[in-house]
Structure 1
């Protein structure tokens, strides 16, 4: 391998590492953004409604 080929490979690796660092920074910025609230947020859990006698449910 000549020195020119080696320099070409090093430059290609350096370019890919820099691109990966930039992508990682963009993904970290997403975690810093505030979490939006749901448009249909009812403010808490709904009360438990029992089934009538003789009714059953399964998940």
Structure 2
């Protein structure tokens, strides 16, 4: 009886799925972020200068 119950529990766990909202966005954001970080330093420098000149209050 216990072996049958254990088997049923494992079968039920295998069939369960979980959908986490926003996980499909990671496939878009991650490559964009990688390209952004690999961009020529002038782009990053311009961004830094704009944030330094116009800081958020």
TM-score by length of 2: 0.39
Q: What is the TM-score with the length of structure 1 in the denominator?
A: 0.38
Structure number with bigger Rg: 1
Bigger fraction of residues in helix: 2
